[in-house]
Amino acid sequence: MESFESDDGHVIARLDRGDMALESIERACETHDIDTGAVVTGIGTFSNLHVHYVDRTDLPDDQADRNVALELEGAWEVTDITGVIADGEPHLHVTAFDGERTVGGHLEEGCEVNVLGEVTIRKLSGLPLERRPGEGNVSQLTRR
């Protein structure tokens, strides 16, 4: 992974074959001192896709009871990665296609870049945010 920063606060990360997507984005946040930001674009290909999604509306207290984790092998064309970075921690969602189905969800660790990845992060200043547990133990953005 290599990352580049513009004069106006944009960071572009190039993810190379074998890089881990989320882990590389986290490293770019550290390298460029991104406390609060937005991932505004993300494209690429993965050789596996690790996501989770919420599959119910009653929201039990234990998050493990409300999330479905998918660990899918094969070539995935990533059409979008977006989300918010608060207190240096990315919360990102991904949409990807394997030639037969489209899958979306919360981007998890372990998604290996197959051919390439390109992610644009917009660094935001003057807006210190963090996530705190809210109603139903749902992580909510709040001002620090």
Task: Parse the chain into domains and list their residue ranges.
Answer: 2-143
Instruction: Give me 10's structure tokens.
Output: 């944009």
Reported pTM = 0.93
How far is it, in rounded angstroms, from Cα 50 to Cα 111?
Answer: 6
Phi, psi of 23 (to 5 degrees): -65, -35
Q: Residue 29: in which H helix or E strand, if any?
A: helix 21-31
DSSP structural state of residue 140: E
Euclidean distance between the first and the last CA atom of the chain, given in angstroms as a whole number: 30
pLDDT in tens, 13-66: 999 999 999 999 999 999 999 999 999 999 999 999 999 999 888 876 666 678
Q: Which CATH number applies to 2-143?
A: 3.30.1330.80
